[in-house]
């Protein structure tokens, strides 16, 4: 992260998220995605109550000039592909799955993007994403916090991690 990002509200928020991820035992690193610095956090957990599955949780966060529905939707797709390509081990669905928090932060946010993120968890075969839209000008975090039908067994885990990583609880 460069000095300009660290001084901005979105940059400060990304530093906060990096601290939260590290404090929770995630491995973190910064990558360059087409000229945009992206924070990648990762952890894996196995639980019997998840029907004996292992969940690979990715948190991928970036500061952008503006967040629209198109921006968060496209970023969510990128993060899911990244998670599938970098998970390793057995193929998704064979006693393991992927969870992801694609997070964009900006001080210019279209309210429709927040509504899109809060509306539902996005699910594809053994892959669940909960997009996160952060409006740093209002200090507002928008993400789905419910219990979906698909992936319901993981809902409390996602809600706990979301609160811990993005709200500092």
The tens digit of pLDDT for each residue in 49-98 reads: 545 566 789 999 999 999 999 999 999 999 999 998 887 655 554 456 78
Instruction: Please tell me the predicted confidence (pLDDT) of residue 148.
Output: 60
**What are the residue boundaries of the structural domains of the chain, listed by start?**
3-166
E strand segments, the chain = 27-33, 36-47, 53-63, 96-106, 122-124, 127-129, 132-135, 140-143
Q: What is the pLDDT of residue 82?
A: 94
| pTM for this predicted structure | 0.85
Confidence of residue 104 (pLDDT cuts 50, 70, 90): very high
Q: Reply yes or no on whether the pLDDT at 44 is more than 80.
A: no
Predicted confidence at residue 169, as pLDDT, reads 40
112: Cα separation from own chain's centroid: 18
**CA-CA distance, 29 to 27, in Å (whole number)?**
7
pLDDT tens digits, 129-155:
999 999 999 999 999 887 765 555 667
């Amino acid at each position: 992260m460069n000095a300009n990002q660290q001084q901005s509200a979105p940059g400060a928020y990304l530093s906060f998220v990096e601290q939260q991820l590290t404090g929770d035992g995630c491995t973190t690193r910064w990558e360059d995605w087409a000229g945009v610095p992206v924070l990648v956090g990762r952890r894996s957990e196995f639980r019997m109550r998840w029907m004996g599955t292992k969940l690979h949780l990715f948190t991928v966060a970036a500061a952008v000039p503006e967040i629209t529905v198109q921006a968060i939707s496209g970023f969510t797709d990128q993060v899911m592909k990244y998670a599938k390509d970098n998970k390793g081990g057995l193929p998704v669905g064979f006693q393991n799955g992927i969870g992801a928090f694609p997070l964009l932060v900006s001080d210019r946010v279209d309210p429709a993007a927040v509504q899109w993120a809060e509306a539902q968890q996005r699910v594809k075969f053994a892959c669940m994403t909960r997009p996160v839209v952060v409006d740093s000008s209002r200090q507002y975090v928008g993400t789905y916090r419910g219990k979906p039908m698909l992936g319901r067994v993981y809902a409390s885990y996602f809600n706990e991690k979301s609160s811990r990583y993005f709200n500092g609880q």
